[in-house]
Amino acid sequence: MRPVRINQENVEVNMRLAKDVYSSEGILLVPQNTLLTANHIVKINLYQIHDIYVYPQEEQIVNKSQIRQSLANTPEFIEFSYKYDRKVEDIQKHLAQIVNTGTINTISLTNLVDDILDSTVSQSQLFSYMCRLKSADDVTYNHSMNVSLLASILGKWLDMSDVSIKELALAGLLHDIGKIMVNQTILNKKGPLTEEEYDHIKQHTTLGYQMVMGSDLPDGIKQAVLMHHEKMNGQGYPLGLKWENIHPYPKIISIVDIYDAMTSERPYHKRFHPLDVIRMFEEECYGLLDTQYLYIFLEHIAHNFIGEHVLLSNGQRGEVIFINKQSPSRPLIKKEDGTILDMLNDMSVFIIDFI
């Protein structure tokens, strides 16, 4: 099918997009092959995209029932969820093998990372899907999978090389391997940890590093295992290093590690809404995490939720239609009655959940 270039004024619902649509800042707004809805057209207009590429109308395949279908019930999501679970099982086997044998098969791990990266969906779909996955019982293997995926995506947003992106994915896979060696009762404890218990859990960084330090893995990956809980002000652990002494990989892993932990179910807290986590990052993490990496991560992540339908704290429902650059956690919401809520101007309202 030969794509057709059309002006934004001629864009119609049910046209199928032939090329990705990006903002002037390089943020992916609508991925290729999307069947355009009114929501997508609003987004294209808001970002002043003058021309897009679509397939000719007679070649469009329109499935309106699928458009209306809940995302979690779509065949695409069900397939993603199945593949995701199988990859998590593979991760569990690989990490257990490392613990049991004391050796790391770098080739096998690299092949696993390649398989994970090759099998994922588009970035915008990935974030929507991850928000809808059922909560897992463990806090290690699913988390390792998520951090691997998120780290590779952030690496792409930072324009890193393909080699670095693959190494970041591998660092995400291995960053919490030391948690396999700590007391699992304490790790899965419901409620706050005592100071002694917290000190025990913190040992996972050094325990993990001991497992990888003798391997032929790149040094940045080893540092990510050891230093992903270090902080910009030198008050992190286990070494209390200042930021200039830390490799970029642990700086990146630390951001996506926190994001996934906060947006996932944990024994000690319910999952937070992604935009609520972005707000926590804005309020609490500047000065603790790498500012450049964090800003790029938050802005790009927020844009992936444009078009999502949300439940607000005041009981109203609406759709995310625009991200405020000053504060990505407080977007513009088009409410069900058609009025627009600028959350930046109404701090009393917040997003509770996706619908």
**Two structure tokens written together for 349:** 């309202």
- The rounded distance, in Å, linking the Cα atoms of 303 and 280 is 17
Domains 4-68 and 71-271 share a fold: no
When mean pLDDT is compared across 2-11, 158-167, 236-245, 280-289, the lowest value belongs to 2-11
pLDDT at position 65? 33
pLDDT at position 62? 37
pLDDT at 121 over 60: yes
**Two structure tokens written together for 255:** 């951001």
Q: How many helices (H) and strands (E) does the chain have?
A: 14, 9
- Residues 154-198: tens digit of each pLDDT: 999 999 999 999 999 999 999 999 999 999 899 888 777 889 999
The phi and psi torsions of 321 (rounded to 5 degrees) equal -115, -15
Superfamily of domain 4-68: Molybdopterin biosynthesis moea protein, domain 2 (3.90.105.10)
Task: pLDDT band for 102, please (50, 70, 90 cuts).
Answer: confident
- Residues 277-336: tens digit of each pLDDT: 888 888 888 788 998 999 899 988 888 888 888 888 888 999 999 988 888 889 999 999
Q: Which pTM does this prediction carry?
A: 0.76
DSSP H or E run through 22: strand 21-22
Residue with tokens 């990146």: 252
Residues with Cβ within 8 Å of residue 14, at least 6 apart in sequence? 35, 36, 60, 62, 64
Q: Taking the domains of the chain in order of start, what are their residue ranges? A: 4-68, 71-271, 309-354
- The rounded distance, in Å, linking the Cα atoms of 54 and 18 is 5
- The rounded distance, in Å, linking the Cα atoms of 141 and 152 is 17
> Do 112 and 91 touch, CB atoms closer than 8 A?
yes
> Do 50 and 7 touch, CB atoms closer than 8 A?
yes
Sign of CA dihedral 36, 41, 42, 44: positive
Residue with tokens 């990496």: 293
**Two structure tokens written together for 193:** 């940890």
In this structure, are strands 317-322 and 332-335 parallel, antiparallel, or unpaired?
antiparallel
Any bridge partners for residue 351, and if so which? Answer: 312
- The rounded distance, in Å, linking the Cα atoms of 313 and 246 is 40
**Two structure tokens written together for 238:** 């286990």
Task: pLDDT band for 137, please (50, 70, 90 cuts).
Answer: low
Q: Does domain 71-271 have CATH number 1.10.3210.10?
A: yes
The phi and psi torsions of 177 (rounded to 5 degrees) equal -60, -30
Task: pLDDT band for 1, please (50, 70, 90 cuts).
Answer: low
